[in-house]
Structures are given as C-alpha cells and as structure tokens.
Amino acid sequence: MLDGNQMIRWMRDLWDYPRSLTGHGTRQTLEYLKNLNPDLNIHSYKSGTKVFDWEIPDEWNIYDAYIEHESGKRFAEFSKSNLHILGYSVPCDMEILLPELLSHIYTQPNQPDVIPYVTSYYHERWGFCMSENDKRKLPDGKYRVVIDATKSPGTMEIADLVIKGQSSEEIFFSTYICHPSMANNELSGPVLSSALMQYIKSQYIKPRYTYRFVFVPETIGSITYLSEHVKHLQKKVVCGFNLSCVGDERAYSHVESRIGNNLADNAIQAAFIGLKNTVTYSFLERGSDERQYCAPGIDLPLCGFSRTRYSKYPEYHTSADNFDVVTAEGLDGSFDVMKSIIDAFEMKLFPKINVKCEPQLGKYGLYPTTSQKGTKPVNTWTRRDVLAYADGKHNIFDIAKKIKKNIKLVVSEVTILEKHGLITSFDTAQ
C-alpha cells in the first residue's frame, strides 16, 4: 500500500548508503529509486565540467575510516555511522598525538550527545565527527588516523523522470540525494517524490499536465541540471516545488518564491488552509535548492515545501535526525498536501458559472428544501462561495484562498457543480 509506512520502509533500505555530492553511495541511492520507478533516468556529468559559475568536483568515495588509540580502542568508526567522517575528507593514514587530533574533530557543543553532519566539499582537509561527550573522553596518547577514501576525477549523478501529459506544460518537483543517514533532512524528500510518481502513474492514465521529477545533489546538482535544461524549464514549467524535510509531524512549512505570489505559492497556501501549525517563510529564509530555481535570470515559478523547515528543528544536521523524527503520519501529511495540489491541477483550473445570478441550487438537489434560523446546511455556503468567485478569472487556488477553504474541498465542490452543468472549467482565464 502506498502510504507513509511504505515510505518508511524505503527509507530504512536507503539508510546506510554513504551519500555525498558524488560517489558510490549516491549511485546506490539512485539505483534503488530507479527500482521503485523504472522510468527514472540517471545522468552522469564529468568532474571539472563548468556549470555557470561552478565546477563539478572530483568524485569522492569513502570505504572506511576510524581513529585508533595506541591501546587498540577505536573511536569515530565509519562502519558504525557514516556521519563520523567529515564529508569529502582526503584519504590519510598517519600517527598523531591527541592535541593535533583534536583540531580535526568536529562536534556540536550545544548538543553534546549527537554526531554533527559536517562537510568540506570545496576545500581539501580531513576530519572526523563525534559527540562532544565522546570527544571529552578521548584518552591522552598516540593515535592512528585512517581514512580509506578516494578523491579523483569521476562523475556526478543526477536523475529525472518525466511523466508526459496531454499538455507540454510542466509541474516540476525537485529533491536532493546527497546527505548520509539522516531521515528528515534527506530521505524524506526522495521517498515522497517516489511515492508521488507512483501516485500520478496509477491515478491518471494520461494526466492533463506533464510532471517532471528531479533528484540532485543539493546546490551543485540543481545548478548542473539548470545549466543543461534552463531554457526548456523556463518555457514549460508553470508550477514547481522543492521538497525538503517532509517527514515530521510538527509543522507544515512554505518557503516563498523570490518574487512571491506565483502559482506554486498560491497552491501551497490553498493546500494549507485548515491544517494545524502552518508556517510561511520569506525567500530571505531560503536554504535549499529554491535558491537556484528562483535565482535572477532563472526565475522558475517554484517554492519550497517542508514539514518543519530545515534548520528549524533541533535534530537537523545531526545523528538525532532519525526515525524518531520522521513518522509514517508525518509523511502521509506531506503526501496528502502534494496529492491535493496534483489533483487540483488535473482539473481545468478556471471555473466559470453558466447562469446569471445565483442558481436555484434546490432544484438540483444541492440545497435543503427547508430553511430555519440557526441551521447551517453542510457545504451550502462553501458551494455558494465557489459560485460567487467562479468568474473564469480566478483559478481554483485563488478561490480556495479567497473563501478560506482547503483546496480539496474546493475541488470537490467544483466537481459537483460541473456535474450539474452549473459551471464550466477552462484551462486558461476567460
């Protein structure tokens, strides 16, 4: 069954792959996702390739790493947690004393029990990550430091899948695949995207819109994808979402587009109506790949969607971001928000009333036959409010925001009114 529990099972399968910007862990991840959706296409880009102002880095692969005290006791073992290694550490095998070792160890002092996630992608160094409490327990003496890794020219992988619709206009989804062993800030996005791809293909034999899903290493991956596809995306994408940290139950978060108030912004806001603990963040509080998709000269109509937004929950970028943070219920909530938006797009977006003035709903069985002070027939006001703004100029997301009703209810009412011939919906404003 396609639900949060299934997504959790996918996440557990993916947990141990040592993901980074490049390397075998990222390739393993993409191959797993391809098994879920065989139409997923994996693309390789060579190290050193220029992509706008950036350059694709050398490929990094990590096989093992540890710190070994002269007594034989080991610390910060990569085999126990792939967060123990500073991401993109250069290989080394040396003996050093404790004072020098300490300068290469990264901790999160304000959270002394967790291992932090730390990277050094674009500057060569080596290092380990451990809890502050474990660092303080390191005994004096001599240590052997081993990082069995390679860093050399290779490739960076990106994947995409395009579900072709009746229209060449596209709804765009992006998520990232470069973080090791963290549940909310990594794996929740890829499994939600995978579930949405399966949902669209199972629910809509020939969808109205074309849907494009992209899986990229954060920042460098989205920049690379844009460098190759920007003209097409600018021409075809009408709405897009960057999915990040979508698995907890604490909040629903919207990171606005750079300009704000585009179709994606309005869709998210319409889907949030009636939900508990929703937060909208300015583009000034961006942090994921919406930075690239909304950059000047790119300006895709895209916004960010999260449950609790990255950096806003205490477990973020630490070993505490685990399956206590991400739940089946949290993923189900994100799935429901995105499904409601997809279902709305699979209707013609602009409803227009077919009669002058308010129709006599009673003769269609859409209004009770009695009226009494103090009673409030279910949905009748919502129904009339939908009709009031069904002028062919307001799309269904606009209407949902205007009447303060969730987009799922508006879609339901539009469907009922269409069935009775009271409105006609159009692809474009009338």
Bridge-partner residues for 59, per DSSP?
152
d(CA 304, CA 218): 14
What is the pLDDT, as a whole number, of residue 1? Answer: 77
pLDDT tier for residue 226 given thresholds of 50, 70 and 90? very high
Q: Specify whether the CB–CB gap between 272 and 254 falls below 8 A.
A: yes
Prediction pTM value: 0.95
pLDDT tier for residue 295 given thresholds of 50, 70 and 90? very high
Please compute the mean of the pLDDT values over residues 367-394 and round it to a whole number.
79
CA torsion 71→73→76→78, rounded to 10°?
120
Q: Specify whether the CB–CB gap between 333 and 308 falls below 8 A.
A: no
The tokens of 174 are what? 């992006």
- Looking at the chain, the whole-number percentage of residues with pLDDT higher than 90 is 93
Q: From the CB of residue 39, how many other CB atoms can be counted at a distance below 10 Å?
A: 12
How do residues 163-205 score in pLDDT, each as one tens digit? Answer: 999 999 999 999 999 999 999 999 999 999 999 999 999 999 9
Please compute the mean of the pLDDT values over residues 117-139 and round it to a whole number.
97
- Looking at the chain, the whole-number percentage of residues with pLDDT higher than 70 is 97
Q: Which domains, and CATH codes, for the chain? A: 4-57+155-345 (3.40.630.10), 59-152 (3.50.30.90), 350-426 (1.10.10)
Check pLDDT > 70 for residue 381: yes
Please compute the mean of the pLDDT values over residues 321-346 and round it to a whole number.
98
**3-state SS track over 313-353:** CCCCCECCCCCCCCCHHHHHHHHHHHHHHHHHHCCCCEEEE
Check pLDDT > 70 for residue 222: yes
C-alpha neighbours within 13 Å on the C-beta side of residue 250: 14
Per the prediction, the chain carries an average pLDDT of 96
What is the pLDDT, as a whole number, of residue 374? Answer: 63
d(CA 111, CA 131): 8
Check pLDDT > 80 for residue 25: yes
d(CA 333, CA 328): 9
pLDDT tier for residue 364 given thresholds of 50, 70 and 90? confident
Please compute the mean of the pLDDT values over residues 340-357 and round it to a whole number.
95
What is the pLDDT, as a whole number, of residue 28? Answer: 98
What is the pLDDT, as a whole number, of residue 372? Answer: 58
Check pLDDT > 90 for residue 243: yes
How do residues 251-268 score in pLDDT, each as one tens digit? Answer: 999 999 999 999 999 999
Helix (H, G, I), strand (E, B) or coil at 151: strand
SS3 content of the chain, % helix, strand, coil (to 5): 35, 25, 45
d(CA 140, CA 414): 72
- Taking CA atoms, 222 is separated from 228, 295, 339, in Å, by 10, 12, 24
What is the pLDDT, as a whole number, of residue 370? Answer: 60
Tokens 């937060």 locate to 279
pLDDT tier for residue 378 given thresholds of 50, 70 and 90? low
What is the pLDDT, as a whole number, of residue 111? Answer: 98
Please compute the mean of the pLDDT values over residues 157-166 and round it to a whole number.
98
Please compute the mean of the pLDDT values over residues 278-307 and round it to a whole number.
97
Give residues with Cβ within 8 angstroms of 116, minimum separation 6: 83, 106, 107, 108, 129, 317, 318, 319
Please compute the mean of the pLDDT values over residues 206-228 and round it to a whole number.
98
Distance in angstroms between the alpha carbons of the first and the last residue of the chain: 41
Q: What are phi and psi of 407, to 5 degrees?
A: -60, -30
In one-letter notation, the amino acid at residue 309 is R
DSSP state of 116: B
- Taking CA atoms, 346 is separated from 271, 274, 339, 381, in Å, by 15, 22, 10, 25
What is the pLDDT, as a whole number, of residue 101? Answer: 98
